[in-house]
Chains A and B, each alone.
Chain A
Amino acid sequence: MIDNHSAKKLVMDHVSHGYGELAVLQNLNLEVSPGEFVVLVGPSGCGKSTLLNLLSGYIKPLSGLVHREGLIRTVYQQDSLFPWLTVAENISMGLIQNKNTAAREQELRKLFELIHLVDFKDHYPHQLSGGMRQRVELARVLAGDSDILLMDEPFSALDYQARLRMRRELIRLLKERPRTVVFVTHDIEEAAQLADRVLVLSNRPASVCRELKINSPRPRDPADEEVVQAMKVILSELGLQA
């Protein structure tokens, strides 16, 4: 069964937010079950990142409640590894709560084995490829006792093939270390490949305009029947079908 890392809840209750005159989110309800993989897609500028910032507690909603349990970690769209630290030192940031040095070392070694970058632990981020850096980011947020992962278009800076590989990598890592995930993307294929549940957001002010469950097991191929079907639904919901 799932270990207790993923047994934490994340709830948004009638949340509205905006900046000055600009309403960004309107009366949004969202409940993420423990261990669930929720993907948010929506037109650009619709407030996806604002939603993640609310979930992480980085900003407070103007009205409504955000209820979160457990340790939340975020993977960002830009390179957010510290360039002055080696890969190992970057990942160790996630282990800072762990006071036992030996246990920390052991956990670090396990994480490197998990992301298959054992040979690169003393390298600096700028010496790695984009895909490798993103794997290091994943290891950093998986390290320690994180419960919930918020991912803000984490693979959008990668080329298509690297993106495909990273999706499979993410699924593999989550099998080893289950977490509750809220994943924001503008990539419809990515949403269909990864999600237990896809939430399609409307234009600003954003609200959920379609909820879509995808039950087939992962990893899923982009050409799988269910994935293609899901993509069609999302595309039509966004008004983008041919």
Chain B
Amino acid sequence: MKPKIPERSGASVQVVNNKTPKRISILRYILPVAVITLLLLVWHFVCFFHVFPAYALPSPGDVFKSFKEEIISGRLVTDIIASLWRVAVGFGISVILGIPVGLWLGQHLFARLSFLPVLNFFRFLSPLAWIPFAILWFHIGDKPAIFLVIMATCFPLMLATMTAVATIPSIYFRVAQDYNYKGFELVTRVTLPAVLPQVITSLRVSYGIAWVVIVAAEMVGCQDGLGYGIWIARNGLRLDSAVCYMIIIGLLGMGIDRLLNQLTKLPNIRWGYDR
């Protein structure tokens, strides 16, 4: 057994196994690139041998050309900004609403008993079911899309926060009582920090839902955005353009998830992942 020596720099904590970390970090890049190259090759050959008709499956070259067109015309950039804005607003409202309500539910048994069935019902209701209402209530534009993102993410966030509160070791509340933390102070200094690691995990999950929903929402309720881009491409049978939107959607989703993942590296969050 190695003696347990406390880490002086937080960095070395992250090395989990001893298998020459450097080699693994190189492989971390090489292996995915190899897989992507392989997929592109398969794609290329499927097109080359006309497994599908050209209009039904654009070749990598077509998609690349369409990328250039979309960027030059500026349409891609405006669509990206529109989608990011809607997700940011909708997701932001969900966070502002969902986390406090989740904390409240977690701490009050009767609130939990009263609201849990309703919340669970809405969680399992596909947000896309709200599309007709969204359009009737908010017409066309940013609002219906934002509404759908909220409907998709608010309930899971609430429930995850609530469950996280239930798992806080009771010893923390004993200590809080010993040191006279009460009311609002108790929530901000004990309850919230104690659940943050779990809340951040659920932020990542529900952000994933938001990103999926925005594409569907924009197909019906908007005049721009990445989802609308795909819809237009479909109507014009420009699948090369649709694929280039799909690639952007996937890449942006991954990128923002990476950003959210950075939150787990904050020093007062890290403890929740190191145990």
Question: Which A residues form the contact surface with B (CB < 8 A)?
Answer: 56, 58, 73-74, 76, 78-80, 82-86, 93-94, 96, 120, 123-129, 132
A80 and B193 in contact, given A129-B6, A132-B6 (Cβ under 8 angstroms): no
B179 near A127 (CB under 8 angstroms)? no
Question: A120: nearest residue on chain B (CB-CB)?
Answer: B6
Chain A residues with CB under 8 A of B193: 82, 84-85
A80 near B179 (CB under 8 angstroms)? no
B175 near A123 (CB under 8 angstroms)? no
A80 near B6 (CB under 8 angstroms)? no
Chain B residues with CB under 8 A of A86: 267
Stretch at the interface among B22-30, B135-143, B145-153, B166-174: B166-174
A58 near B177 (CB under 8 angstroms)? yes
Most buried by A among B4, B175, B267, B275: B175
Chain B residues with CB under 8 A of A82: 172, 175, 190, 193-194
B194 near A96 (CB under 8 angstroms)? no
Chain B residues with CB under 8 A of A125: 271
Chain A residues with CB under 8 A of B267: 86, 124
Question: Which B residues form the contact surface with A (CB < 8 A)?
Answer: 4, 6-7, 10, 13, 169, 171-172, 174-175, 177-180, 190, 193-194, 196, 267-272, 274-275
Q: Chain B at the A interface: mostly helix, strand, loop or mixed?
A: helix
B172 near A126 (CB under 8 angstroms)? no
| Cα distance A128–B89 in the bound complex, in angstroms | 41
A128 and B271 in contact, given A82-B193, A96-B179 (Cβ under 8 angstroms): no
Q: Chain A at the B interface: mostly helix, strand, loop or mixed?
A: loop
Question: A137: nearest residue on chain B (CB-CB)?
Answer: B175
A80 near B172 (CB under 8 angstroms)? yes
- Choose from B13, B174, B268 the contact partner of A127 (Cβ within 8 Å): B13
Chain A residues with CB under 8 A of B271: 83-84, 124-126
- Choose from B174, B194, B270 the contact partner of A124 (Cβ within 8 Å): B270
Chain A residues with CB under 8 A of B6: 120, 123, 127-129, 132
Question: A96: nearest residue on chain B (CB-CB)?
Answer: B179
| Cα distance A129–B3 in the bound complex, in angstroms | 10
Other than the given A84-B269, A126-B274, 16 more pairs (CB < 8 A) read: A56-B178, A58-B177, A74-B178, A76-B175, A78-B169, A80-B174, A80-B175, A82-B190, A84-B271, A85-B193, A86-B267, A123-B6, A124-B268, A124-B270, A124-B271, A129-B4
| Cα distance A56–B179 in the bound complex, in angstroms | 12
Question: B197: nearest residue on chain A (CB-CB)?
Answer: A84
| Cα distance A76–B177 in the bound complex, in angstroms | 13
Question: B268: nearest residue on chain A (CB-CB)?
Answer: A84
| Cα distance A111–B179 in the bound complex, in angstroms | 18
B190 near A127 (CB under 8 angstroms)? no
Chain B residues with CB under 8 A of A126: 271, 274-275
B171 near A80 (CB under 8 angstroms)? yes
